[in-house]
Structure 1
């Protein structure tokens, strides 16, 4: 709109009738001299209504020349009579010039109408000999020069003499820089020579030097004056000052050039369309994107670049915008020159005339493909996040400690069973806490108000249906907001994990019990042997005692010694039975003080028969003065038994060296006592060291793979640790465990 106002001001300043038209010839502006002369305003002159100001006799020829002008897109002049507001007809020369942008595209027509009626009348009168030549020349209201048939100046009217400030003698040979601008002189001489040679009128634009040395643009029109025989007797040179028009054209062309350069430099697809919606202009960025020329996208050819799935919706939106005559927008994909489709936002606004009528549409297509992809990725991420939170039973939150503002995710509403979107307050949250955990909630809130960096807590919720949920809270203070106590965090529903842990503990207890039973099944023969030995001793000693008492005289001292041996074997059998009953027991772990060396000796004694049968040589290194450890005696015995059995099994195939087994106890520096079992068997691959403790992983052909897994769970349940290692100085493997010193 700023460009249109500047042009109007310039054209209104001209002393001639002037108007502008669109590339198709429709008038879109008339200056004040046109309105004053014709009595027709823009509304009465727009489009093709200006023809009403043309004489009916001259109109057909003018329209024919006008059509040829539009087709050629070249400058032209047309002579016709224009009707004044009072009905009088006067002759005008209409100069029509095309204006092009930097790319050579026609953007507008600019025309001036010069009143030559007096000149026409003067020429007619001169031919008829009715008026004196000088009187005729002086009556013309523009500078006029009269030359001889060969081009020498013979006379001028007053306006010409005042402008040049030179005498006839000085102007007689006008072919100099003092009259015509040096840049325009060659073309002026050539046009003048051609016109004189052909005897035809000529029309040339050049700059004339005024008396003060200033050059101004003129449109010089030459008309020959002929005698009755057709011979040229004089030339009349009519000089029409077009300086203002030229400046306006230059200003307009420069403005158009800058505008087009700006539009073409914009990193967006800029276009304009006619009132009916057909495409008219596309900037270079638009053409480069499509890889097409202007002619290939004009009218509705641009629709061929729109994605077929988006075209119907875009056409519908475009028609609705044109019908509403208001700005609008739509989205669609457009094919790039390499065949790739990208999303664009189509925005358009109407250009209106002074009466509010839409005369053109301007639009811009903004590439939003990256934004669309980001939105799609965001939607997918949000969907994945929501799905992940639902699967993980996890919700997010943020809390502004100063304002009390709380924001919750959808999953957190679900966990607390609050109405989605309802306002969440600390009071509502605490009201959901289990009564026994309210004090914990108060403590966590105090930590947050103090501004602690990280807060972690586990608590329970008592739901309206009296069910209990276990939650795990993790909160972190936002570091990017200094001076503000704002927290972001997550809440995990660990109820299912808690139930799983309880089930796992139960399963471990069952598995440990099964392992003990299986271990005892394997040791049944050894236990029977241990029990049979004292029982056989009891029977033998009892028989001996009876024989000694039956002797004459009775051997009382020998009978007493035999009775003592019977009591010893009976106690030994009782110890075996007691250990067997303890191993079969399913009681829960009872932490008590245990002498780890003594416990190891008991298990070695219990397994001695099996170890002897396997040809295993046991070596013990039990440290003296070790503190008692805290653990479940029966479960610790089970672990030691499992390690000894595994060591014996690892040496079953060893024939080239003694089958030695070392059992050792020692103190550790961190309040722990260690027991290790080392064998000289086949060992294991160091890469499988952690897999040895996986449930159902075994290196034995007849193994179940649960012994070490159960043993580790037993030791870890008693705050200890169990490990395995290869032996660096010989064959075999080492297994050991550490448990803490007993504290009441």
Structure 2
């Protein structure tokens, strides 16, 4: 109905204006008296023209009206609707057909044009909408706070938003046309390639992955990519990738992971595990290190207090249960230490500490840590054992250690041996007056001077002797070595040192000096006897009885008349003492063989024993008959007694050398202790490491075996230090063996290293490789080198204007002997003292006896070598000795 009304509304104007136009055309044609055909043509034009207005009904009505007007006015008969003319009727029919067809066609044309116009309008509207949508989506694409990439099947960038290009440091033009893999990190390119391929195989499905991209400046950012493949207008697939910058999030994750890893590593390194426990719910958490400490599997065993009790040593189980019960009852912090008894039988010491905290839900939760302190407890035991060893060593060597407050004038620390040396009551404080009362008045100024110099920092190391007056009236001689300790302000705070009881050494030196004087007198006496003695001649007959004796026997106290007719073994007094010697002598005489240097003991005319050395040769007559022996005898009593005296002298020298070595060991106590402590500390560390390897969930036996091997090596090294010390300390006979002088030097360096460090002396060695072997006693040669090194250290004690350097050099001299030199840069030796520096009892030190270099010279000369001082151009002195080669090295 509405359509009909609408159609009528459109037809009325068309019919009205069309009728009016037909009327006007009719008047014009009437006025012009137009022909019928011309009027029909005019009517056709009007109808067709108004048919363009759109209504077929109005056009049809106009057509009928035009026919009526044409028939009424212009077809005869006029003024009548009837048409009589045969020629006019076809015109009317043709008019009608043309008008109706034309109107219909014009209507169709108008409809198609209207439809085209409407379509064009719709198309324009669609294009506008499309352009608006394109602008909208482009704005979204450009201004979305995310990186968008569009790539084709080959991975080439087709488009990228400005934000994405800016985030990568490029312009859009620089990225479009490049491979998208160029902006991925090298190790992530395979992942990106695989993900793009998967998207292309599954069009329409979204795929997400995380990757690292490289900016133009080389920096890296993490992105989370959401990719989806879709078909383009030409059915060509493309991949749209949306990238979210997750760099900060990833850094936070990595930082958290690193923090967790560091925490786990820190717990493993410190052997400390963390735990939490809610008493109300029983919920518990253990870190991996806690499970490792308890040797439990976190995957199979739920943690909890009951598990702790089960693992606790039976002797500590009640105390641990009491701690747990009290914590549950009081909800308060707790701390305790207990032992674990592990399935393999080993025992661990655990120190646990927890704090009660309140969670966000208001529940009480214990948060704490459990530390494996087994190593610390073992170290404490070993430290106590080491302290006991040190105390025993101090007692055996009569050496006490102490620390003295230079301002408070009191002991900060003193060992038990110091109390024994001074006669103090152990552990009781002593006043400065008590200390001074125990020091000999003549030695007190020296100790006060040492303290004054220490405060003024005039010296850093002190070595001095003093006497102690004991409560029982005895006197004890003390040799002290000390060095200063500076505080944070650079001022001297204390003196640390040792007191060594050298009373016996001092008495031994006095006895030795007296013995040496007596030995020299005895040696001179017997030397005079030997020089004034003379030989005598003798002859025996075929029966070996004495037939002739020269007159010189009287000088030996032997009268010729007393021995004529006697056999030699009748004269001798050692027949029973040395029967084998006389048996061989008789066999020689029976064989008529010459003999040489037969020594026997007899008596002079006053009954005193004398020693005779005799040599003889058989003689014969012209026929070869044996007539007897002729020979010469010498009174060697003085020589024998001189040899005995020399043996006594060597024994005394060996005794002195031993005393010197023991004294040197006392001075090197700190160095020896350091050399022993180093391998002991290494043993402890390697033992802890071995326990760590064995204590792993999967024990690393190879690493544990390596740690045990290192323990053995360090134990051998410590044993070697003790062997050297025992070898230097023991008394024994000279043992001449083939030696490499460089190895002897290395043994000495191991003993004096600490002394060099404490005196700030730098040791430099120039040891010639592959030197020939020498024949010598290792201990005595070590003593010589130690003495020369210690003398060099002492000579540089006062040097402050140049580096303190000691040089040990081994080489071959011009004669092919092995030569060793020790050079210092100390104060040197004056020309007037140079000729006497090797003499006994000559010394330039206030506390020295002058026997060190003399003993060294005796030892070197006993080895067939020579000790000498070499003059040098620079400061200091050089002592060297050369030793002959071992015969096998020469051959």
TM-score (norm 2): 0.35
Higher relative contact order (CA 8 A, sep 6+): 1
More helix by share: 2
